[in-house]
Amino acid sequence: MNKAQLIDKIHHDVEGLNKKQAEKMLDVLTDTIVEELKNDREVTIAGFGTFLSRVRYSRGGVNPQKPTERITIPAVKVAKFKTGYHLKQALKGNR
């Protein structure tokens, strides 16, 4: 499912909501999650899961263009997601 399909699903499932409003809702949700992660805060949706940011520390690596050359891969902030109980159960088929 892509963003347009998700907007269509929200539009059809929420009575009285037009497509522009559904798109705005999705944009606000994703923008809010991104801002919170950028500020090192977690976003928890009970039963669904938790979005959090972590630092992947710098490490050594190999230059793929010159395999004999060692390089340093810089540290980077990455997004993580921990599934909530209800999502885990739904995926197992228990819900």
Tell me what the pLDDT averaged over the chain comes to.
Answer: 94
Per-residue pLDDT averaged across 26-43, rounded? 96
46 and 56 share one domain: yes
61 and 27 share one domain: no
56 and 16 share one domain: no
51 and 86 share one domain: yes
The three-state (H, E, C) secondary structure of the chain, written as one string: CCHHHHHHHHHHHCCCCCHHHHHHHHHHHHHHHHHHHHCCCCEEECCCEEEEEEEECCEEEEECCEEEEEEEECCEEEEEEEECHHHHHHHHCCC
CATH number of the domain bearing residue 92: 4.10.520.10
85 and 52 share one domain: yes
30 and 44 share one domain: no
Residue 67 has pLDDT above 80, yes or no: yes
Residue 22 is predicted with a pLDDT of: 94
Task: Name the band, by pLDDT with cuts 50, 70 and 90, for residue 95.
Answer: low
Per-residue pLDDT averaged across 46-58, rounded? 95
Residue 63 is predicted with a pLDDT of: 92
22 and 49 share one domain: no
